[in-house]
Amino acid sequence: MALNATDRLELSGVSLTLGDQPVLQDLTLATGRGEVLVVLGPSGCGKTSLLRLMAGLVEPGSGTVALNDAPPVPGHGIAMMFQSYRLLPWKTVAANVAFALPDLPRAQREDRVSEVLHLVGLERFADRYPAALSGGMRQRVALARALAPRPDFLLMDEPFAALDAQARELMQAELLRLVGASGGPGVVFVTHSVDEALVLGDRIILLSPRPGRIITDMAVPFARRPDPHDHPDYPALRRTLWERLRQAVLTDPASDFYRPG
Ligand SMILES: Nc1ncnc2c1ncn2[C@@H]1O[C@H](COP(=O)(O)OP(=O)(O)OP(=O)(O)O)[C@@H](O)[C@H]1O
């Protein structure tokens, strides 16, 4: 996929230690607006820490992180989404989305809120409270809130992991539709699921157990196709990723699965 040269998120030789734990080691990668980069890896390998580095919430111990050639500043050009919806229960859907646009004059803010609620199909629910919505709908509100300030990049930390299978599939399709639209952000999407990685990713990086290193960086040959599961390359790629994940976990001395000898 051709990356947009003007909106780039780049890591160069990045390592991170938290407390006395080396968490990430020598990561070099670049992504751009319009790409869905999936980060796959075993538990505790540093996936969330990688997103926090990209958002400017932590600084690397060595190496550099750059959003459009400058260190990322929290809240500028980057939005985050998590497994928990993090909605304010005492505010309506519209007010939750508006919360992401504190600097816009009121009329413009209302227009933008309507626009993004329309994008995610929730315009009829603008006056409801989160408690009255299903999990999938709440996650749509969180997506609308993340997209409202038109971020260059959307960093997503297992955002659909708590949804039931059907809602998860709908949200995956929704995300690809929104990213595919012109002006859609670049996405860095963390998941434990090989299938989710293959359905969503233009590119997949696989991290080793902690300290996380990139052990695979692959383009997905059927990215953005309808019905990716039916593509002839799907089973082989799925097997390859599973095998690499399994090997990484089995050879990790810190893993519960490690069996010496
Ligand atoms: N503030 C901290 N101090 C020390 N260690 C930390 C700190 N924050 C995270 N860690 C450790 O760093 C490692 C990476 O954590 P991180 O949450 O980035 O991994 P992850 O791949 O997202 O995990 P999971 O898949 O379980 O969500 C973990 O072993 C965690 O215990």
**Burial class, 10, CB count within 10 angstroms (exposed 0-12 / middle 13-18 / buried 19+):** middle
**Beta-carbon count within 10 A of 237 CB:** 19
As averages over each run of 10 residues, the pLDDT of the chain (261 residues) reads 68 96 95 94 91 96 95 91 90 96 94 93 95 92 93 94 88 88 87 94 94 94 89 94 88 61 45
Question: How much is the ipTM here?
Answer: 0.94
- Separation CA 234–CA 195 (nearest Å): 9
Crossing angle of helices 165-180/135-147, nearest 10°?
20
Residue 100 token pair: 């992401």
* Distance from residue 17's CA to the centre of ligand 1 (Å): 10
Q: Ligand 1 within 6 A of 136 CB?
A: no
Q: Ligand 1 within 6 A of 209 CB?
A: no
Q: Ligand 1 within 6 A of 48 CB?
A: yes
Residue 5's pLDDT is 52
Walk me through the domains of the chain, giving residue ranges and CATH numbers.
Answer: 1-77+153-261 (3.40.50.300), 88-150 (no CATH)
Q: Whose CA is nearest to atom 6 of ligand 1?
A: 18
Q: Whose CA is nearest to atom 1 of ligand 1?
A: 18
* Distance from residue 202's CA to the centre of ligand 1 (Å): 26
Residue 1's pLDDT is 46
Q: Which residue out of 16, 39, 47, 58 has the highest number of ligand 1 atoms within 8 Å of its CB and is therefore the one to mutate?
A: 47
> Partners of 78 in the beta sheet?
153
Q: Whose CA is nearest to atom 29 of ligand 1?
A: 44
